[in-house]
Chain A
Amino acid sequence: MKRDMSLSIADVINTFGKIALWTSLVPIAVGVFRFRQLSKGLVSIFVLAGISLISDLLIHQYSNLKDVPSFVGRIFTVSEFALISIFFFYEFSRKPARRIVAVLALIFIVIAVIDFVLQGVMLMDNLSMTIESIVFLTYSMVLFYFMLKDMIYPNILQTSQFWIIAGILVYFGGCIFIFICSNYLSREMVIRVWGIHNLLVIAYNVLISIGLWKARKQYR
Chain B
Amino acid sequence: MESQEAIPVGLLVAIGTCAMLILVVSIVLFVALYQRKVMAQQMTIQAAENRHQKEMLNASLEIAEQEREKIAKNIHDDVGTLLNVIRLQMTRLSRNAADQAKTEELVKESLSMVDESIQTVRGIAHDLMPPTLVKLGLDKGLVEMCRQINASGQVKMDAIIDTNDRRLAARTELQLYRAIREIVNNILKHSRATHVGMAVRATSDALVVQITHNGIGITNETATELAQSQKGVGLKSIQSRVQLVNGTVQYLSKGQSDSAVIIEVPAVW
Contact = CB atoms under 8 A, between A and B. Distances in A.
Contacts of A155: 35-36, 39
Contacts of B35: 147-148, 151, 153, 155-156
B134 interface: no
A188 B6 CA distance: 10
Interface residues of A, number: 31
Closest 10 CB pairs of A and B: A177-B16, A173-B24, A186-B6, A156-B35, A169-B24, A173-B20, A166-B28, A189-B10, A174-B21, A177-B13
B9 A181 contact: yes
27 contacts: A137-B24, A144-B27, A148-B35, A151-B38, A151-B42, A155-B35, A155-B39, A169-B24, A169-B28, A170-B21, A170-B24, A170-B25, A173-B20, A173-B23, A174-B17, A174-B21, A174-B24, A177-B20, A180-B16, A184-B6, A185-B6, A186-B6, A188-B6, A189-B6, A189-B7, A193-B13, A196-B14
B31 interface: yes
Interface of B: 2-3, 5-7, 9-10, 12-14, 16-17, 20-21, 23-25, 27-28, 31-32, 34-36, 38-39, 42
A46 interface: no
Contacts of A192: 10
Interface of A is mostly: helix
B12 A169 contact: no
B39 to A, nearest CB: 6
Contacts of B13: 177-178, 181, 185, 193, 196
Contact of A184 (B9, B16, B21): B9
Given A154-B39, A173-B24, A196-B14, 14 more contacts: A137-B24, A144-B31, A148-B31, A148-B35, A153-B35, A155-B36, A156-B32, A169-B28, A177-B17, A184-B5, A184-B6, A184-B9, A185-B9, A186-B6
Contacts, number: 79
Contact of B39 (A144, A151, A185): A151
Nearest to A188: B6
A176 interface: yes
Interface string A142-185: 00100110010111110000100010011001111110110011
A177 B6 contact: no
Interface in A48-103: none
B191 to A, nearest CB: 46
A110 interface: no
B36 A156 contact: yes
Contacts of B3: 186
Nearest to B24: A173
Interface of B is mostly: helix
A186 B2 contact: yes
A191 B30 CA distance: 33
A155 B32 CA distance: 9
Contact of B31 (A156, A173, A186, A196): A156
A122 interface: no
A156 B13 CA distance: 32
B31 A174 contact: no
Contacts of B20: 173-174, 176-177
A135 B20 CA distance: 15
Contacts of A177: 12-13, 16-17, 20
Nearest to B7: A189
B258 to A, nearest CB: 45
Contacts of A7: none
A75 to B, nearest CB: 25
B32 A157 contact: yes
A110 B52 CA distance: 59
Contact of A141 (B16, B27, B39, B42): B27
A65 B66 CA distance: 93
B44 to A, nearest CB: 14
B24 to A, nearest CB: 4
Contacts of A174: 17, 20-21, 24
A173 to B, nearest CB: 4
Nearest to B5: A184
Most chain A beta-carbon contacts within 10 A, residue among B2, B3, B31? B31
B10 A185 contact: yes
A178 B42 contact: no
Given A181-B12, A185-B10, A162 B27 contact: no
